[in-house]
Amino acid sequence: VDLESILNIDEIEEVATKNIPHKGWAYYYSASDDLTSKAFNGAVYRQILLRPRVFIDCVACDTSTSFLGHNVKLPIYVSPAAMARLAHQDGEWGIAQACEKFGAMQIISQNASMTPEQIIADAKPGQVFGWQLYVQNERAKSEAILARMNKLDPIKFICLTLDAPVPGKREHDERSKNIGSNLSVRAAVQEDQSVSKTSPEAKTPKLAGVGQSLFWGTAADLTWRSTLPWLAKHTNKPIVLKGIQTHEDAYLASCYAPQVKAIILSNHGGRALDTAPPAVHTLLEIRKYCPEVLDRIEVWVDGGIKRGTDIVKALCLGARGVGVGRAALFGLGAGGKEGVERVLEILKAETETCMRLLGVERVDQLGMQYINTRAVERD
Ligand code: FNR
């Protein structure tokens, strides 16, 4: 396929769907129960309208910003998403290459199909990575991983995922469990560590979907009181909490600043609790009940991002940046590293077009004055 002929993220997904082995596709596409949150994540952006200003010089347009003080060229980052090699051999390394080209940040999943060392092997100075952690029942394993991360300079923060202590019920994934079973679903970070016969991995049920296999051994007993001090003790990097879905938890997280430096409003791409709110709703709640959170910590969002206008709307609502999960994986499926580059190229160009048509030159000028959220706030 000529990647230049692909014009939007939906077309990327169409091409990838033809390329990726069925089991990998089902794992990426899947979301919980009736896929309600997955669908709403994207649909909610359609309900927000833009308020363009005219008669403004819009020749210049600058999409650069920063995350936790690290400069990036795009307010778009690649979300941690497991098993990129189910889409293409380039895997997470390919995503890193594409991110480097566009000056975008990448958060590496604990369940990545390549080791962190492989993924950052060709990182350029200034390239920004985060590492996403699923705390393991056997805490010593997580401590060993954190010790390993402490030595990796390009990893600028630890992103602790909180919205999926147990996997959601993803029927596409479960149904495909017997198909293409030659695909490996072991997380690479644990491969070079000795796995005893009695370890949770060794007991992974053979008939589970990819998601369930990967979740085996993940701790479900995390708490604000016990887990944050433990994590702070074992990492020398800032902490980002991923999967915040209410203003109450956003506020709580902000009370742990400066240890917690950012939160990610996310429902895990609709893959954890179905009918959990899209990030836009949580952002609006925060603005209404505890707007000070936006001053205390950075707020990032993900879920359903497919258009530059989605990105601009999230920034107008107060998000520092937006994450893309499936778009990057499907980009890999559409054309390896070049496919991910095409995804970022499309999203960057659409974001610039949107900013220009709004009459905005820099991302820090974006604010509530550029959107109309009435249709989302009918309560
Ligand atoms: C994910 N996501 C995810 N999140 C996380 O913290 N750790 C992980 O290992 C994974 N793995 C994963 C695999 C796949 C296939 C998908 C689609 C998603 C969730 C991810 O970080 C992000 O929250 C969503 O993907 C964002 O939604 P979109 O962009 O996919 O709509």
pLDDT higher than 80, residue 191: no
DSSP 303: S
List the residue whose alpha carbon is closest to atom 23 of ligand 1.
268
Is 295 designated active site?
A: no
Looking at residue 207, its pLDDT comes to: 57
List the residue whose alpha carbon is closest to atom 10 of ligand 1.
81
User: CA-CA distance, 362 to 312, in Å (whole number)?
Assistant: 11
Cβ of 63 less than 6 Å from ligand 1:
no
Cβ of 99 less than 6 Å from ligand 1:
no
Q: Name the active-site residue from 90, 163, 173, 310.
A: 163
Cβ of 247 less than 6 Å from ligand 1:
no
Cβ pair 332, 87 in contact under 8 A: yes
Cβ pair 339, 12 in contact under 8 A: yes
Q: Given the CA of residue 214, which atom of ligand 1 is nearest to it?
A: 9
Cβ of 37 less than 6 Å from ligand 1:
no
Residue in 92, 96, 97 with CA at minimum distance from that of residue 112? 92
Mean pLDDT value across residues 207-235: 92
Is 134 designated active site?
A: yes
User: CA-CA distance, 210 to 168, in Å (whole number)?
Assistant: 12
Q: How many CA atoms lie within 13 A of 259 on its CB side?
A: 15
Give the Å distance between the CA of 358 and the centre of ligand 1.
30
pLDDT, tens only, 9-52:
999 999 999 999 999 999 999 999 999 999 999 999 999 999 99
Cβ of 132 less than 6 Å from ligand 1:
yes
The predicted complex's ipTM stands at 1.00
Lowest-pLDDT choice from 126-140, 168-182, 209-223, 310-324? 168-182
Cβ of 131 less than 6 Å from ligand 1:
no
Residue in 125, 150, 12 with CA at minimum distance from that of residue 133? 150
Cβ pair 31, 37 in contact under 8 A: yes
Is 2 designated active site?
A: no
Burial 31-50 (b: 16+ CB within 10 A, else e): bbeebebbebbbebbebbee
Q: How confident is the model at residue 190 (pLDDT cuts 50, 70, 90)?
A: confident
